Every structure is written in structure tokens, then in C-alpha cells.
Amino acid sequence: MIDKMNKWLTSYSQFKHILEYKPVFWTNPNYSIDSMSYKDCGFSVSDLIDAEARYQRFAPFFVKAFPETGDRGGIIESDLTPLEDFRLGHKVYLKGDYALPISGSIKARGGIYEVIRHAEALLLKEDRLTIHDDYSVLLDDTYKSFFNQYKIIVSSTGNLGLSIGIISAKLGFNVEVHMSRDAMAWKKELLRSLGVNVIEYPEDYSQAVIYGRASAAKDPMAYFVDDESSVNLFLGYGVAALRLRKQLRQASIKVSKENPLIVYLPCGVGGGPGGIAWALKEVFQDKVHCVFVEPTHSPCMLLGMMTGEHDQIAVQDIGLDNMTIADGLAVGKPSAFVGHIMMDRLLGVATVSDEDLLEALKDLHKRYNVFLEPSALAGIQGLDMLMQGLSPLSQDQVKSATHVLWATGGKMVPDEVKEKYID
């Protein structure tokens, strides 16, 4: 590792700053604007459309099981809100996944989708349902008894565990959530109140995944939701791109090469931001540019993509501690599945300090009365770095672009925890 680190110090100008926990912007040298040159990843827009259709089939169930989804007809979606004068001279919008119904974070997209896909597959296999039925029948005790034979297992730093736990418990599954040391106490308490078996570890997320996967391997009735490499999670997140296109049209926002869409996505292991970024590139092609943003203490995707090591390296290997207030992003080792797909699709990766996350939390709450948990504010750093010219995009492109900050969580944070963050 010493020889490799010496090589990286020589090859990458930002590497020294990464070791010193200083914010950086890494421009991906493999980024291609031409979508025709992207490597085939085995799925496409047709798979997104299939995922959206499945969400539509479950809409009647969501309306009855979670009344807060009723105003959108059972569709789990968030608003696109303009942030007036947020950064003078720039068009900035907040994608409000922090307020997604059911579990209040971006994980309500992918996590819930993977569970309903698994549930539907089980029912169709046993001829207990057809895709033409009214899925609200799944609230009946007979279906809950059927699902109670099966177990859903997931490893999480918090929000994925919440989404998986809430929807799985509602359907009737037995649920087991393996929580890393970074998970907030209130998230664990909420899950336990729903009857979820929460297993805690003193190690970080990567180790919790190992334990969760091993637990699932022992149980033939268990299904492991793998945030590191799940195509289903990826597609569930990706449905957002189809809906964002519709929202932009409704707001009369035109997206073109000259007036691009630039999207900033907080990144942990990579599944959520990866699914959305991949889908955005499929839908908008060369008219969109995506940036991941990670904590300076946990820049796992940056490290994996920059060095080409992907999941063969962890931030701890180069001396970083993986300790951050951004619990949802406290991941030491990235998803190789996501990293390989993003190699020619991602503009770059920015990193942000905990201090800047808290400053952004205070600023957004004071100016717009919007509360986001610290990890959800990471995207602001990417915007500020592009405004400073730290990217291959010209300042004219940055000036004329529509900027979307993907706000990934915050709605379900208890009031006393919110006050602590604000203080």
C-alpha cells in the first residue's frame, strides 16, 4: 500500500489534500458527454419503465397503507422547489427527497422498490396475485400471513434500514436490519417500535454488510437487500429521472447542451446517487452532468474511482477515519458495481467537511425554513466548487445551467435532534 500511495501522491494533485481531510473536486478523466460511447451495463430505459409500471401497480396499496401518499395517488415522489437567490445569478432547485413519504429520504425510492418487487415476485410465483389485480388487497391478513414466512435482511447506516424496515413490516415480512456504528439512535428505536430486529455493530458499514449477507446465507427463506450491488435498488432510484423530466417540463424549464442540467448527489456506498445519475444520463444524455459529493472523512467513491481500485480499497487503507456527522455517507468502501458504471458517466466527485455541512444546514433552515439532515446538504459543496471553476465545464455553462441539489433526507429526524443540529 505504501508503494501505491506514493504513486497516487505523484499522479493525483488532490491526493495529498484527501489525506489531510481537505475538500477537493476531482474531475473524472474518463467522463464522456457522448452517451453513444457509454459501456453497456446490462439494463436500459426499458427497465426503468418496467420499474415505474410496478410502482403504479402498488399505488392502491400505498394509498391505503400510507395515507400520506394519497395526494399523489399512491406515488412516492418529491417536489422540485426553486431556491430563490440561493446563489446569485444561478438557477438552483431543491429536489425534496428529504420529504418523501413513508420513510423521509432518498432510500424510499430504491429500498421500497426492491421490497415490493420481491413481494410481487413471490406472489406471482405462487399464483396468489396477477398484475391486473387491485394491490390494496395486500393489506389483508391472509397476505400478511403469507409474507410472514419470509425474511428481509439489510445492512445500513440508517436510512436504507428505515425504508426497508417500514415497508417490509407493513407487508408482513420478518425484518432484520444490521446497523453500523454510525446509525443514529432514533432510527434504531423507530425500527424496533415496528417489530424490526435491529442488530448493532461497533464497526462501520462495510462490516455490517458482511454480517448481513452472512445471516441471509444461512436462511433459505431470507432475501438480502444488497446496497453494494443490487440492480433492483439501482432501478428503483432511477425512476426519479423519468419523474424529474416531467417536473422540469411542468415548470417550463428547458434543458439543452447550452443550458444543461447539473445535478449534485450526496454519496455514501453509491447505490442511490449511482441509480439516479445513470438514469439521468439515459433520459437527458449529453444535456445533463452529475456530481457526487462525499464527506472529507469518507470519500470512498472518490478514492475507488480515482485509483481504479473500486471496492478493493477502503478509506481506512490510506489512514482516513471514516468518522463524519453525515451518518448516511459514512462508508469506507464503495460499490464496485456503481463505480464501474459511473466511470464514463460521472463528471466528478467533490468532498465536503462536517463544518461546511453544518453551516449549510443552518443557512438553509434560516433562509428557507427547510431542515435537512447533514448528509443531505452535501450537494451544496459541489455547486459552490463548480461556481469557483473547479470543473471542466465553462463558467458560461455553469451560469446558464439549471442546478439541482438532491436533498436526500431529513423529514423523519425527531425535533430534539433537529434542534441539536441547529444549535
DSSP 8-state secondary structure symbol assigned to residue 20: T
Q: pLDDT, tens digit, for every residue of 17-59?
A: 999 999 999 999 999 887 677 888 889 999 999 999 999 999 9
pTM: 0.95
Which distant-in-sequence residues (6+ apart) come within 8 Å of 165 by Cβ? 154, 175, 177, 191, 194, 196
Q: Which residue has the higher pLDDT, 117 or 36?
A: 117
Q: Which residues contact residue 30 at a Cβ distance below 8 angstroms, ignoring those fewer than 6 apart?
A: 343, 344
* 3 state SS for 351-372: EECHHHHHHHHHHHHHHHCCCC
Burial of 233 (0-12, 13-18, 19+ CB in 10 A): buried
Domains for the chain: give ranges and CATH numbers: 2-43+66-102+238-422 (3.40.50.1100), 107-231 (3.40.50.1100)
373 pLDDT higher than 90: yes
DSSP 99: G
33 Rama class: left (phi>0) / alpha (psi -120 to 50) / beta: alpha
- What confidence tens digit (pLDDT) does each residue in 290-301 have? 999 999 999 999
Lowest mean pLDDT among 2-11, 353-362, 400-409: 2-11
Residue 39: per-residue pLDDT = 83
Residue 402 is placed in which grid cell?
439549471
